Structure 1
Amino acid sequence: MTDSSRPLVIDPTGRDIHGENARIRARSAVTQVELPGGVVAWSVTSYDLLRRLLSDPRVSKDARQHWPQLINGEVNEEWPLHLWVSVQNMFTAYGAEHRRLRGLVSSAFTARRVAALRPQVERITADLLDALAAAPEGPVDLREGFAYPLPIEVICQLLGIPDDARPGLRRTVDVVFNTTITPEEAQANQVEMYAILDNLVATKRAAPGDDMTSDLIAARDADDGSRLTESEMVDTLILLISAGHETTVNLLDQAITALLTHPDQLDLVRTGRVSWDDVIEEALRWQAPVAHLPLRYAVEDIEIDGFRIGKGEAILAGYAAAGRDPDLHGADADTFDLTRANKNHLSFGHGAHYCLGAPLARLEAAVALPALFDRFPDMALAVPEAELSHIDSFISNGHRVLPVTLRAAA
């Protein structure tokens, strides 16, 4: 067997996501890769093929029904990414079960309700900018001081998460996205996360509030719990907390980085030749906040454009690769270009599992980015771009730190 016939081993550190995607694409638009723990999946890097598979009813996200490796016990709790396939919420549901679970939370993310959150997002943004302005002279970490706290504050307020629970939830969610951890670390983190959420549910059940956690508990307790099981309720909280901020953190992080490293593009925004919506969509295309999303499964044998994915085989959605697909975006697909006519991407997914929180993420970015660059027009990276390091994840696409100077040197 030649090296090229073996699955390409995904680097769990994510240190070179786009270079790795280019190597995967060079093999084939649909090719096998090896994830941590030796799990093999079909990586789909073609925008067109991935878009079609994401809306194909022959593709499931329910490992309990459609992934023989999990059903047979070949993949178990010792797999570091086990939580990604074992949670019981709309993220891992299929068909009618997915529609039921999605329906319980979709009303919170309607266009009207998201628009009503704008004043709240503006207040949080203004407070964060004031805190940055009051910081001592010298570099500040914009990921820690701006990109992270904005979406986490919004989602915590929506869910009614008390201040004392937030540090623990943040820590455990960060570990979920860390794809370099050991099985022991993953299992310990899972225990800690469920303990925090079980305590949150007990507190809200005893004293409900005007928040989504209380709404989910009401759905759980209504009709003898027939609409929502306890596991589904807690696992839905995991999904809302993690997906509710991770995408936006990385969107803000990468959009800020892109503008600071492309002054010609930033000038286009400042002179009004392109819009902030152009910035958001091109950032989503150029640096998908979630690079690879595990996992989906073929419900039956799938033949698509000459490729065959066998029944029960796993599929890894390559969102970052799809955003830079040269078949769609041309030879300059790797270039950050705000004037690009076609900014199509799959960074929020597609089909039945399209991200419910996409309008909220776009709103947060539309408020935060112009406010940041207006407040600090002389902002600059404090280190060369090459020195920015990637977080330890092949799933989440962001930086460990984003050091910037907010003001020009005196």
Structure 2
Amino acid sequence: MTDHQQIADARNYPFTAPDRLQLDPTYGELREKQPLVRVRLPYGEEAWLATRYEDVKTVLGDLRFSRAAALGRDEPRSTPHSIQEGILTMDPPDHTRLRKLVAKAFTARRVEQLRPRTQQIADELLDAMIAAGPPADLVEHFSTPLPIRVICELLGVPIVDQGRFHTWSEAIVSTTSLSPEQIDEYLANLYAYIAELVAQRRKEPTDDLISALVRARAEDEDRLTEDELVRLAAGLLAAGHETTVTQISNFVYVLLTHPSELDRLRADPELIPAAVEELLRYVPLGAASAFARYARENVELGGGTVRAGEPVLGALSSANRDERVFADPDRLDLTRPTNPHVGFGHGVHHCVGAQLARMELQVALGSLITRLPDLRLAVPEPDLAWKSGLLVRGLTALPVAW
């Protein structure tokens, strides 16, 4: 098939509406027969979609592909609005300048220092849940408050405001769940809230990440503008809890619906770190691929040619099920010996909070396995309600008993 034929035959994408945590089988067919396919998203220009592991890593990690080139373009997306500013639309060296400022807050050593406090929060939440008795909604009483309290303490955000910023953060991941007017309102509220915190920290510095960012700007005016500071902190606050909130419940759902693997984990809690990595590979968090990269030059990819100026999306969930890399990829295997998944992305935009998310997920699963060894669904699986209109897949509630 020629490039012109492929362009004429662009497929609507996503191929189907999200079905719980099932990965659309179309990805497997494309990996085998047409690993680079032309797609048409609900908004923006047409794009290429890469579905194989190595091709996805190339799109995300090769500097021949640019995120900054999306600026001023009608980039392909699932949302009416387009994120045309901030660290997500930067390439090195601008991206490097901002990332260095926050990366030291998320080093493995710093995250391990947060583990005891994270465990304490998890135990407090489970104490309250157990005291109230079953059934309980794991989303409301555990999955949501745990990452929120951790990121609040890390950034220095008052916990009493968690409800407000958790609501506003939906603007970051909304496709159709919020109207364009609501998205603009929520983002404005979030940025105004962070700007106020920044002003407070400038007057009264404390030992938190927002204070550290304020100090970085004061020490070198050229390194961080006021707008960059506010948007960076707001992005960390939103991204630092939104996906982990969703993934805790997703992981528990997958384990409860794979009883043999859950029994294996209960029998050997030392498998928790490996289980988290396998679940990061197995769960297709994104409802569709997002944040296209634009080719700076002609690039041979997936048996085709991406021409200079054309956008490409990397299908992370498809890459994580690539038969060329993962044996029996559609099977959940908590003892998988090697697991080079791309659940946190790849390249310069690899999730800066990956280590924090890993630690929180390990603490969450370990606590539930240890404290609630008889955990089970409190309703039939088909009765569970799933979120819609978001960039990510997740449960609106997860009723459990023990």
Q: 1:297 touches 1:314 (CA, 8 Å); kept in 2?
A: yes
What secondary structure sits across from 2:374 in the alignment? Answer: coil
Q: Distance in 2 between matches of 1:11 and 1:187?
A: 28
1:23 aligned residue (19, 22, 26)? 26
What secondary structure sits across from 1:254 in the alignment? Answer: helix
1:171 aligned residue (153, 167, 173)? 167
Task: State the Cα deviation string for residues 192-221 of structure 1 (Å, max 9, x = none).
Answer: 222222222222223221111111112223
In the other structure, the counterpart of 1:133 is 130
Please list every run of 5 or more consecutive structure 2 residues that lacks an aligned counterpart in the other structure: none
Q: Distance in 2 between matches of 1:210 and 1:261?
A: 42
Pair 1:106 & 2:103 matched: yes
Q: Distance in 1 between matches of 2:212 and 2:123?
A: 29
Pair 1:97 & 2:94 matched: yes
Comparing 148-157 and 198-207, the one that deviates more = 198-207
- The equivalences for 1:74-89 within 5 A come to 74=74, 80-83=80-83, 86-89=84-87
2:42 aligned residue (36, 42, 45)? 36
Please list every run of 5 or more consecutive structure 1 residues that lacks an aligned counterpart in the other structure: none
CA RMSD, 1 decimal: 2.7
Pair 1:350 & 2:353 matched: no
Deviation of residue 302 (structure 1)? 1.6
Q: Distance in 1 between matches of 2:114 and 2:380?
A: 36
1:55 aligned residue (53, 61, 68)? 61
Pair 1:383 & 2:386 matched: no
Q: Distance in 2 between matches of 1:42 and 1:144?
A: 38
Deviation of residue 320 (structure 1)? 1.6
Q: 2:38 touches 2:47 (CA, 8 Å); kept in 1?
A: yes
Distance 1:268 1:132, change over 3 A: same
Q: Distance in 1 between matches of 2:155 and 2:270?
A: 35
Letter of the structure 2 residue corresponding to residue 259 of structure 1? L
Distance 1:201 1:165, change over 3 A: farther
In the other structure, the counterpart of 1:374 is 370
Distance 1:251 1:132, change over 3 A: same
Letter of the structure 2 residue corresponding to residue 350 of structure 1? H
2:217 aligned residue (220, 230, 237)? 220
Q: 1:18 touches 1:321 (CA, 8 Å); kept in 2?
A: no
In the other structure, the counterpart of 2:10 is 6
Q: 1:122 touches 1:367 (CA, 8 Å); kept in 2?
A: yes
Deviation of residue 393 (structure 1)? 4.5
Distance 1:211 1:60, change over 3 A: same
Aligned residues: 393
1:211 aligned residue (205, 208, 212)? 208
Distance 1:400 1:239, change over 3 A: same
Q: Distance in 2 between matches of 1:356 and 1:178?
A: 21
Letter of the structure 2 residue corresponding to residue 122 of structure 1? Q
The normalised TM-score by structure 2 is 0.89
Q: 1:43 touches 1:315 (CA, 8 Å); kept in 2?
A: yes
What secondary structure sits across from 2:47 in the alignment? Answer: strand
What percent of counterpart residues are identical?
38
Q: Distance in 2 between matches of 1:49 and 1:75?
A: 20
Q: Distance in 2 between matches of 1:402 and 1:4?
A: 43
Comparing 233-242 and 291-300, the one that deviates more = 291-300
Distance 1:12 1:95, change over 3 A: farther
Pair 1:319 & 2:316 matched: yes
Deviation of residue 275 (structure 1)? 0.8
Pair 1:116 & 2:117 matched: no
Q: 2:14 touches 2:41 (CA, 8 Å); kept in 1?
A: yes
Comparing 23-32 and 41-50, the one that deviates more = 23-32
Q: Distance in 2 between matches of 1:328 and 1:81?
A: 35
- The equivalences for 1:246-261 within 5 A come to 246-261=242-257
The normalised TM-score by structure 1 is 0.87
In the other structure, the counterpart of 2:153 is 157
